[in-house]
């Protein structure tokens, strides 16, 4: 089967509302004839602004994170109910910055995955190893553990609303990129994990994005690999001139 390519832009902690609006307007115009699946994930403060612009377009509205609880006394957190109220369709969970800077563990991430799915949101679940883990020969083991624990208890029907994003932590924002061959090896391994957890059909359908210094110069080479089904783009998603060539590859 041919899996659809899924290109997502994670704007991280960038852009005021007016800056986000300007970028969103440019992207809706320039990607309207694109043949792939697209998403942008602005900061919480810009979700309503960007959501109004991309509504009705071929660009999905994503959030970069959410709380593990539906609501309550959780100062500084943003709930799934608030995200849905803003028209958010997809939430990114388990990003390496959440795991390593903000110390979110697999159990917490799994709780968020279930909460998002239970409320009808799609999920991009991020996995990936540190440089020290790769050098110790543990890349596959780390990615398998994060995949297994992140998806624990998720039904086969729930899995259909999950996208995996492999992001080697050492390649995020560093300018280093895993070679297409290195990336494809991990993607193939993780696809095998899905086959063992669910079945071969689920593994075949699973969209696995690559993230980590994706840019126009390497996008087509990465996407040409059998097991790479798109990209979760950080820095290059902050300007239309660098994101559009990635989104429109092929």
Active site residues: 95, 167
Helical (H) or strand (E) element with 127: strand 122-127
Q: How far apart are CA 139 and CA 185, in angstroms?
A: 10
Provide the 3-class DSSP secondary structure of residue 236.
helix
Cα of 162 vs its chain's centroid, Å: 10
φ, ψ of residue 234 to 5 degrees: the values are: -95, -100
Q: How far apart are CA 9 and CA 49, in angstroms?
A: 16
List b or e across 165-179, with b for residues whose CB sees 16 or more CB atoms inside 10 angstroms.
bbbbbbbbeeeebbe
């Amino acid at each position: 089967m041919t899996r659809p390519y899924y290109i997502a832009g994670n704007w991280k902690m960038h852009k005021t509302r007016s800056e986000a609006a300007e970028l969103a307007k440019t992207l809706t115009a320039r990607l309207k004839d694109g043949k792939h699946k697209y998403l942008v994930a602005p900061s919480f403060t810009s979700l309503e602004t960007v959501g109004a612009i991309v509504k009705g377009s071929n660009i999905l509205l994503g959030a970069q994170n959410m709380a593990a609880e539906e609501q309550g006394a959780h100062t500084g957190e943003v709930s799934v109910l608030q995200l849905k109220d803003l028209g958010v369709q997809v939430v990114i969970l388990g990003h390496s910055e959440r795991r390593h800077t903000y110390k979110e563990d697999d159990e917490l991430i799994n709780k968020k995955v279930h909460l998002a799915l239970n409320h009808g949101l799609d999920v991009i679940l991020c996995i990936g190893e540190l440089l020290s883990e790769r050098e110790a020969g543990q890349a596959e083991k780390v990615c398998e553990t994060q995949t297994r624990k992140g998806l624990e208890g998720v039904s086969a029907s729930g899995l259909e609303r999950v996208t995996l994003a492999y992001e080697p932590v050492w390649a995020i924002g560093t300018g280093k990129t895993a070679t297409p061959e290195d990336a494809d090896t991990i993607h193939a391994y993780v696809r095998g994990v899905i086959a063992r957890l669910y079945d071969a059909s689920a593994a075949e359908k699973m969209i696995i994005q690559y993230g980590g210094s994706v840019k126009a110069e390497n996008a087509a080479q990465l996407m040409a690999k059998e097991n790479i089904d798109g990209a979760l783009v950080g820095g290059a998603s902050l300007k239309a001139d660098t994101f559009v060539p990635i989104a429109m590859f092929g």
